[in-house]
Amino acid sequence: MRPDLNKQREGAKAPSRHILRKSSEGFGPGAYAAFIIVMLAAMALCICVGSVTIPLKTIVSVIWRAVKGLPQIPGTSSSIILSVRIPRVLCVALSGAALSLCGAAMQGLLKNPLADGSTLGVSSGAALGACLAIALEITLPGFPFAGTMVMAMAFAFLSLVLILSLAYRLDYSLATGTIILIGVIFSMFISSVMSLVIAFAGDHLRSITYWTMGSLAGSSYLNALVLLIALVLCGSVILLHARELNAFAIGEDNARHIGVNVKRVKLTVMITVSVLIGVCVSIGGTIAFVGLVTPHMVRMITGPNHKRILPASLFGGATFLLLCDLVARVIVNPVELPIGVVTSLIGAVLFVNIFYQTRSGR
């Protein structure tokens, strides 16, 4: 009977080895080139189209002269291109990439298709911190938006600590279901607190209300630089955990048996996600559905391997939010809609369609 038992044990370990072997299969240069070309095409379209349509040739000429330090040709709309559209497009692309990457990481970590940063309550906590900063006019000398950003990041991190502490008291293993349940309850509580803050906001009511809908209008190169630094630092940590996220796909117990430090990976990914979401919320406000829908669309193309899902989510999220921002700017021109409204409308329809197809395929 011992040989049979050994065969059974080897058979049970085979899927784990198979998953870990597949986790090394990332994208090739051709796939990266395709994603980059699509994203750059979306960026070019967003720079060209708006309240004033500018030819691509003119945009290339303006950017080339700016890079070379040459004087701009009068009448080429150089101020619109360099001061308004390019910084906004950069911030939109970076925010979309960051939010989508966070959503893909959380869905893999918690093994739940409905998971993203908002599921943990991190987005709600960051939004509350930013709202308080706006209402109380908290700023840092020399950095106009630093007060909002610091408050958003601080509240995002504190929210994560509180959620994990409550989940740990209820379940020492930090089970996925417990974390999600606490996160949903915490989000509902934060929503009521935000309503209270808005009720007493006074002169800041309009700005807070518009900010909670999500908007990247008026973005600057400094905003883009902050988003880029946060995405490079936090995104690198998430991408380096693609193998562990693949192991989570077969269950936490199996991941633990093949050598994954489950608690450490959970804490690392969640803290990284909270920091990245805090930065995005402080600059663009609450932008829903990007981290929830984009990883689902990407997964249909790449399959379940996180070596492919995570980098594809970066480009997919950037492209998705760029197109949503374009719709927000032109659909009721000259009035501009908050980008969060557009992502919610489009994201809700896409998510219902994706959910229906997933259920029908079973």
In order along the chain (362 residues), what is the average pLDDT of each group of 10 residues? 42 40 63 93 94 90 89 81 94 96 90 75 88 85 74 87 84 74 88 88 80 87 94 96 90 83 88 90 89 89 91 95 94 86 86 72 56
Per-residue pLDDT at 142: 64
Per-residue pLDDT at 13: 40
Residue 23 lies inside a defined structural domain of this protein: no
Rounded to the nearest 10°, the torsion over CA 63, 215, 318, 114 is 180
Cα Rg of the chain, angstroms? 22
Domain that holds residue 74: 33-360
Residue 143 pairs with which residues in a beta bridge?
A: 140
CB of 281 within 8 A of CB of 127?
yes
Residue 146 lies inside a defined structural domain of this protein: yes
Residue 310 lies inside a defined structural domain of this protein: yes
Residue 140 pairs with which residues in a beta bridge?
A: 143
- Two tokens, residue 175: 């089970």
CATH of the domain at 340: 1.10.3470.10
Q: Is 70 helix (H, G, I), strand (E, B) or coil?
A: coil
Per-residue pLDDT at 113: 75
Residue 172 lies inside a defined structural domain of this protein: yes
What angle in degrees, to the nearest 10, is found between the helix axes of 306-330 and 29-48?
10
Residue 8 lies inside a defined structural domain of this protein: no
Q: Name the amino acid, one letter, at 101.
A: L
Residues 6+ away with beta carbon under 8 Å from 318: 39, 42, 92, 93, 94, 96, 97, 100
User: Phi-psi bin for 71: left (phi > 0), alpha (psi -120 to 50), beta?
Assistant: beta
Residue 14 lies inside a defined structural domain of this protein: no
Q: How many folded domains does the chain comprise?
A: 1
Per-residue pLDDT at 144: 63
- Two tokens, residue 150: 């610091």
Instruction: Compute the distance between CA of residue 282 and CA of residue 189 in angstroms, rounded to an integer.
Output: 20
Residue 302 lies inside a defined structural domain of this protein: yes
Per-residue pLDDT at 19: 39
